[in-house]
């Protein structure tokens, strides 16, 4: 079931979306299967593993299955992330798996859990293991109604090149709501990969209004509307 979206007549019309950070649509397992089916878009090889237990009862998954996945894709390194988010405080410690030993995999997962607890973020019901891509560039696009509305890209990346072409395909497929879409460039093969998406709007973290996509450009971020937003207690939750 999708998380209800906040709706209230006092909402500024300019704000594209107001929702919870842990809205179901922000899950990797929601948007990845969709964009992975787009032939023109590259995505990292990814496999999901169901998490058993919770914070109070030692969350875990089958670490041996991760070892099998690493062997299947012939990787030396893989990236661990949760369904809603990757590690934020120390990304390498909480995400980089460079060993096939289940105990080492468990250690990285434990660090990821520690960071999520400190940030107050949900873990979700599954973990994702992805091929590790050494990258030398990262860009972000914002899409809405089937089009790119803004591209926060590099000076040497022309609009006729990747990842602009890939972003346009993602925009046409994900034409409901407003989204941010992230791409990275493989440092060795110079190939662009779509790695992440997020709803582009505002959520309230208990203290202030924050951009869901965590975009820092004040001229483009929905946070420029924060001063216009009423207090959350005045909202009415609807599905």
Q: Where are the domains of the chain?
A: 16-41+134-238, 46-131
State how far the Cα of 100 lies from the Cα of 207, in Å rounded to an integer.
Answer: 42
First-to-last C-alpha distance (Å) of the chain? 10
Fold of 16-41+134-238: D-amino Acid Aminotransferase; Chain A, domain 1 (3.30.470)
What's the pLDDT tens digit per position in 183-195? 999 999 999 999 9
What's the pLDDT tens digit per position in 194-229? 999 999 988 888 888 888 887 667 777 888 888 888
Which residue would you say has higher pLDDT here, 44 or 88? 44
Mean pLDDT confidence for 86-106: 92
Q: Highest mean pLDDT: which of 14-18, 44-48, 213-217?
A: 44-48
Instruction: Name residue 114's beta-bridge partners.
Output: none
Whether the predicted pLDDT of 235 surpasses 80? no
Confidence class for position 239, pLDDT limits 50, 70, 90: very low
Q: Where in 92-133 does DSSP place strands (E)?
A: 96-97, 126-131
State how far the Cα of 160 lies from the Cα of 138, in Å rounded to an integer.
Answer: 17
Tokens (6 digits) for 209: 């209004």
Question: What is residue 40's predicted lDDT score, i.e. its pLDDT?
Answer: 96
CA–CA distances in Å: residue 161 to residues 125, 165, 175: 37, 6, 21
Question: What is residue 33's predicted lDDT score, i.e. its pLDDT?
Answer: 97
Q: What does the mean pLDDT of the chain come to?
A: 87
pTM of the model: 0.89
């Amino acid at each position: 079931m999708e998380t209800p979206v906040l709706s209230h007549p006092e909402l500024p019309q300019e704000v594209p979306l107001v929702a919870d950070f842990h809205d179901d649509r922000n899950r990797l397992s929601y948007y990845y299967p969709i964009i992975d089916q787009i032939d023109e878009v590259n995505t990292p090889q990814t496999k999901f593993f169901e998490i058993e237990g919770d914070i109070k009862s030692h969350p875990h998954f089958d670490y041996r299955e991760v070892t099998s996945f690493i062997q299947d894709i012939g990787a030396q390194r893989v990236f661990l992330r949760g369904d809603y988010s990757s590690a934020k405080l120390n990304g390498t410690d909480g995400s980089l798996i460079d060993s096939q030993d289940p105990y080492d995999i468990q250690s990285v997962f434990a660090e990821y859990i520690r960071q999520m607890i400190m940030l107050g973020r949900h873990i979700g019901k599954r973990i994702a293991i992805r091929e590790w891509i050494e990258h030398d560039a990262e860009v972000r696009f914002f899409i809405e109604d089937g089009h790119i509305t803004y591209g926060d890209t590099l000076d040497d990346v022309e609009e006729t090149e990747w990842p602009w072409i890939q972003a346009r395909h993602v925009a046409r497929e994900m034409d409901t709501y407003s989204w941010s879409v992230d791409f990275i460039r493989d440092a060795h093969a110079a190939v662009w990969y779509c790695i992440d998406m997020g709803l582009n709007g505002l959520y309230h973290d208990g203290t202030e209004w924050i951009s869901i996509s965590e975009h820092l450009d004040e001229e483009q971020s929905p946070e420029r509307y924060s001063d216009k937003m009423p207090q959350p207690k005045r909202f009415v939750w609807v599905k």
